[in-house]
A and B are shown apart, each in its own frame.
Chain A
Amino acid sequence: MRKHDKKGFLGISFGWLFALIVGAFILFLAIFFAVQFVNTQGAAQNIVTSKSLGILLDPLETGYEQSKVTYVDLGIETTIENACSDVGEFGEHSIRTSQELFGRESVGVFAASFSNKYIFAEDEISGKEFYIFSQQFSFPFKVSDLIFILPKDQFYCFVNADSEMQQLIFDLGLQTIRNVSSEMQCRANEMSVCFTGGKCDIHVNQNEGYTLKENVRMYFETEALLFASIFSSTELYECQLQRVMKRVAHLAELYSEKKSFLATRECTTIVDVSALQIMAEDFENSEDILLIKEEKESVARINENSRCRLW
């Protein structure tokens, strides 16, 4: 009997070869889908974190109090990116978070968007822990609470701030802001903010009502906007201010209609917010604050002395 011992090139049968090839293909598919799944879960986790962060901001709505502080510990290194759009009735603020997953940064999408929140921060902030505080903004009626997000390891050094500002910082209890009398006392890792001239990263001119940052002037009115101009990037500040003024315009319209409605119920007032509404609707950039603030003060005085107040 003749033995068929003719050996092939590789010395293995076709069946084994077939099994090896298909097995390798199946293994490749399994690894591919596992990686895709991990990425999807990472993205989902980022979206949940963004949305949760936005929901955590809800209790910051102030009532009697002027400001509120809260502290958030996200547990892992997180980058929060802020995006603002002033399109639409109220505009929108979006948050995207990116967290470390298996040693790699997993980037989320701008899935958490809010029309009723006004968040001021740098465009991108990173850290595990954040201070979030809010300041009530009235113009002259309550418009909203402006929310500020500061990473715990971002330090500020306020140089020659007035006693009112110093007291406010003390009352907020933020450990990342120090009051000093000279910019020489600021540390290398601190962002210096000068209130009376000097060589600082940020300059605040309270007399003329603007903050100079990266050679850009951001005009402010009230303490809330002063904080916003210090802690926010210039683009985000301008965009959020646009959104805030849209809300002012809508609220002014609401009060105008309330005035007409109250007149039918024999509760009359001479407060006229129509000019304020128009100026808020035509608001283009922070410099327009210089034009609108006089009208706001006039309207506030009249309402204060009115028998039938609108707010």
Chain B
Amino acid sequence: MVKQAQFKIQQTAFMLVALTIFFVLVGLVFLGFQFSNTREDADQLKADQATLLVSKLANSPEFSCEQAFNENKENCVDFDKILVLSENKEKYSNFWGVSDIKLRKIYPEIEGEVMCTKENYPECNVVHFIEEEIRGNYVSNFVSLCRKEMGEREVYTKCELAMLLVSYEEYYEE
């Protein structure tokens, strides 16, 4: 009789422990699912931020032509200014809240990828602002790329076509 009672107690105890473990596992699966939703939300926010930023970055004072070329130009990037800016990358590394900003001149075309420096300017086609090695997705926007150019007698404004690219990093599993 006593043994039977003890057996029943053990039975109940094991059942309750098994039930608890089961519900803990269910809870973990649910939390894992929720976390992956949060991760997707975070990635979507980053994508939205990059998309909105790239549409307005050309009007940012560090990029914009303002009235340097004697007229107001919208979506105009000052090539002379951004070349100088690209040499001060460290100060602006976290400024815009994205992982990378890159400018690529697309017309006139230059073969390959030539990083702009003071030595090869303006015969180059890529300016990097934040990082050298990027892993992430890019969103882009077309801009006019203007600079001062020395003519035969005087300085004039020369404008070309470029693409501004903003990169955001998605959440990667370690």
**Which residues of A approach B to under 8 Å, CB–CB?**
4, 13-15, 18-19, 22-23, 26, 30, 33, 37, 41, 44, 48, 51-52, 55, 58-59, 61-64, 89-90, 114-116, 141-144, 247, 250-251, 253-255, 257-258, 261-262, 264-267, 307-311
A35 and B88 CA atoms in complex are apart in Å by: 49
| Inter-subunit contact B16/A258 (CB<8 Å) | no
Within 8 A of A (CB), among B153-173: 155
- When C-beta atoms are compared, the residue in chain B nearest to A13 turns out to be B5
Interface residues as binary, B20-45 with A (CB distance below 8 Å gives 1, 0 otherwise): 10010001000100100010010001
Q: A15-B5, A55-B45, A63-B64 are in contact. List 6 more A-B contacts (CB 8 A).
A: A44-B38, A52-B45, A116-B96, A254-B62, A261-B80, A267-B150
Contacts of A19 in B (CB 8 A): 12, 16
For the complex of A and B, 10 pairs with smallest distance between CB atoms: A58-B52, A61-B56, A63-B59, A63-B74, A257-B84, A267-B148, A311-B66, A142-B61, A55-B49, A267-B155
Contacts of A13 in B (CB 8 A): 5
| Inter-subunit contact A23/B16 (CB<8 Å) | yes
| Inter-subunit contact A115/B95 (CB<8 Å) | yes
Q: Does B118 contact A (CB under 8 A)?
A: yes
| Inter-subunit contact A144/B61 (CB<8 Å) | yes
> Chain A nearest CB: distance from B170 CB in Å?
15
- When C-beta atoms are compared, the residue in chain B nearest to A23 turns out to be B16
| Inter-subunit contact A254/B67 (CB<8 Å) | no
| Inter-subunit contact A261/B118 (CB<8 Å) | yes
> Chain A nearest CB: distance from B17 CB in Å?
9
A143 and B66 CA atoms in complex are apart in Å by: 11
| Inter-subunit contact B12/A251 (CB<8 Å) | no
Using A48-B45, A58-B49, A309-B70 as known contacts, say yes or no to A254 and B84 having CB atoms under 8 A apart: yes
> Chain B nearest CB: distance from A54 CB in Å?
8
Using A44-B38, A90-B95 as known contacts, say yes or no to A58 and B12 having CB atoms under 8 A apart: no
- Indicate which residue in B38, B66, B69, B88 contacts A254 across the interface (CB closer than 8 Å): B88
| Inter-subunit contact B155/A48 (CB<8 Å) | no
- When C-beta atoms are compared, the residue in chain A nearest to B10 turns out to be A15
14 A-B residue pairs with CB within 8 Å? A26-B16, A26-B19, A30-B23, A58-B53, A61-B60, A63-B74, A89-B91, A115-B94, A115-B96, A143-B61, A251-B61, A254-B81, A265-B148, A265-B149
Using A254-B85, A267-B155 as known contacts, say yes or no to A61 and B59 having CB atoms under 8 A apart: yes
- Indicate which residue in A55, A114, A142, A262 contacts B48 across the interface (CB closer than 8 Å): A55
- Indicate which residue in A62, A64, A114 contacts B97 across the interface (CB closer than 8 Å): A114
> Chain B nearest CB: distance from A76 CB in Å?
18
Q: Does B141 contact A (CB under 8 A)?
A: no
- When C-beta atoms are compared, the residue in chain A nearest to B45 turns out to be A51
| Inter-subunit contact A59/B52 (CB<8 Å) | yes
| Inter-subunit contact A262/B72 (CB<8 Å) | no
- Indicate which residue in B9, B27, B52, B72 contacts A33 across the interface (CB closer than 8 Å): B27
> Chain A nearest CB: distance from B105 CB in Å?
17
A74 and B117 CA atoms in complex are apart in Å by: 47
Q: Does B8 contact A (CB under 8 A)?
A: yes
A267 and B23 CA atoms in complex are apart in Å by: 74
Contacts of A41 in B (CB 8 A): 34
| Inter-subunit contact A309/B67 (CB<8 Å) | yes
| Inter-subunit contact A250/B12 (CB<8 Å) | no
- Indicate which residue in B19, B75, B83 contacts A261 across the interface (CB closer than 8 Å): B83
A266 and B23 CA atoms in complex are apart in Å by: 76
| Inter-subunit contact B5/A258 (CB<8 Å) | no
Using A19-B16, A261-B118 as known contacts, say yes or no to A141 and B155 having CB atoms under 8 A apart: no
A44 and B91 CA atoms in complex are apart in Å by: 31
- When C-beta atoms are compared, the residue in chain A nearest to B8 turns out to be A15
